[in-house]
Amino acid sequence: MTYDEKLRKQAYDAIENHQGMVKKDLYYPTYHIAPPVGLLNDPNGWIQWKGTYHLFFQWMPFHSGHGAKFWGHFSSEDLVNWTLEPIALTPSQWFDKSGCYSGSAVSVDEKLKLFYTGNVKNELGQRETYQCTAESVDGITFTKTGVKIDLPEGYTPHFRDPKVWAYKGRWYMVVGAQTDNEVGAVAFFESNDLDSWTHRGILTKADQDPLNNLGYMWECPDLLELNGQNVLLFSPQGLQADGIDFNNQYQSGYVVGKLDYEKAELSHGGFIELDRGFEFYAPQTTLDDYGRRILVAWMGVPDQNESAQPTIANGWVHQMTLPRELTLVDGKIYQTPLNEMEQLRACESIEQSVSKELATSISRGSEIQIEGEISTIELFNYTTLSYDKNTELLTMERPSYVDGSLETRSCRLPQGLYHLRIFVDHSSLEIFVNYGEEVFTSRIFADVFEDSIRVQGRVNVQAWDLKNDTIQVG
């Protein structure tokens, strides 16, 4: 048995031995992707290939902490029903023995090609990083094809998460990086064959306007086009909280501008947070066959009290967001649930006009739409969403799962609050505000038997119970 085969067997044994305990956890989601066992984090290799959507993910199958990551793999024909596929990558080679870290996927010559960061801790405990590839002819079984990029000069070994795309017959790559003087940056590469890469330089970094002091490391870059403009998504680490902004341990956001491919320069505006909730990180997008730019993110944040989440006791932690479509309106990204999410609806549970207050019960797997003059929504006697017309602030409040103290996240809505679309799963909320103007993504760990909802305002409320059998892991 090879080392790769041994790792795969150990991972499958972990699923077999612990899947029963995981699935019995009443916090385990019913329609969101979550690990079959262990820890899930960054989405990887997000792509529609030959009509099928493939979502790979960072996975630690042996415990609920971080470590030498695998690439797990889900696939879907419709973005609603997902199947767990065989393991795509294991940390089994000299160049990735300490973890197959995050990356992306492209289609070329009828093959699905993965780009990822090989993480190595050498004998002295020092980090080494390599940008590596693997490929498949069936989208299921992958063969590693080795190292394509060694660490360039000018960067520390915190150099990872390659995102690759094609433009006018050439291939391009961005990599999240830290410069030698410990400044977050995005490195830019070019290739004509996906094998030999030229380092074109730094597209943008944290010690230049308008991004001064924007952190010591930038992870998970993704450069895309929306409405004729270039958008750079990335996750900077090291930002200080500033009022209602940057209140998570690490952030995720974007800049909007224009990439000059010839000069390898990205001119852009300031940094905008992508999600205003408690748990959202490492977003990755793909352009599907219908021309939609679709985002998926990890519903978690590194080093943000992960070990305190109650699901740890049952052998799993974290989940993914639902896929969202991105559009750019007046320089701001709007995020909306895909039309396919309506297929999740099993039956309507509420349809009611409310003049002052509605107090009722709701399933822990629900979609809720509220329209009108919205004041306050309280869910499960645990989470409150309230809008203050005087301050123009929408605020989400929940008890900390560390010590129970109340904590908040907020955004400003100058045009007021007039529409909410909320997806409730057993331990998560995704709240789309004003048709995607803002989004709050968060985990919630209310009493598992609590089902109360209270809505205040002059509103129309509609809700649906959602399906609970859309994720197949065995």
Q: How many domains does the chain have?
A: 1
Structural domain for 447, as ranges? 346-472
In 111-169 the beta strands, taken as DSSP E runs, fall at: 111-121, 127-136, 143-149, 155-167
Which of 4, 25, 42, 275 is labelled catalytic?
A: 42
In a domain, 443, yes or no: yes
| Pairing status of strand 265-268 against strand 217-226 | unpaired
Please name the residues in contact with 228: beta carbons below 8 A apart, sequence gap of 6 or more: none
pLDDT in tens, the chain (474 residues): 999 999 999 999 999 999 999 999 999 999 999 999 999 999 999 999 999 999 999 999 999 999 999 999 999 999 999 999 999 999 999 999 999 999 999 999 999 999 999 999 988 889 999 999 999 999 999 999 999 999 999 999 999 999 999 999 999 999 999 999 999 999 999 999 999 999 999 999 999 888 889 999 999 999 999 999 999 999 999 999 999 999 999 999 999 999 999 999 999 999 999 999 999 999 999 999 999 999 999 999 999 999 999 999 999 999 999 999 999 999 999 999 999 999 999 999 999 999 999 999 999 999 999 999 999 999 999 999 999 999 999 999 999 999 999 999 999 999 999 999 999 999 999 999 999 999 999 999 999 999 999 999 999 999 999 999 999 986
Active site residue 42: yes
In a domain, 400, yes or no: yes
CATH code of the domain covering residue 390: 2.60.120.560
In a domain, 460, yes or no: yes
Distances (CA, A) of 354 to 357, 368, 422: 6, 14, 17
In a domain, 105, yes or no: no
320, 33 contact by CB (below 8 A): yes
In a domain, 34, yes or no: no
Q: How far apart are CA 229 and CA 142, in angstroms?
A: 34
pTM: 0.98
50, 313 contact by CB (below 8 A): no
Q: How far apart are CA 374 and CA 390, in angstroms?
A: 14
In a domain, 130, yes or no: no
In a domain, 42, yes or no: no
In a domain, 459, yes or no: yes
Long-range interactions of 262-270: CB distance < 8 A, separation 24+: 264/188, 264/190, 264/200, 264/201, 264/203, 265/203, 266/186, 266/203, 266/204, 266/223, 266/230, 266/232, 268/204, 268/210, 268/230, 268/232, 269/210, 269/331, 270/210, 270/211
Residue 10 in 3-state DSSP? helix
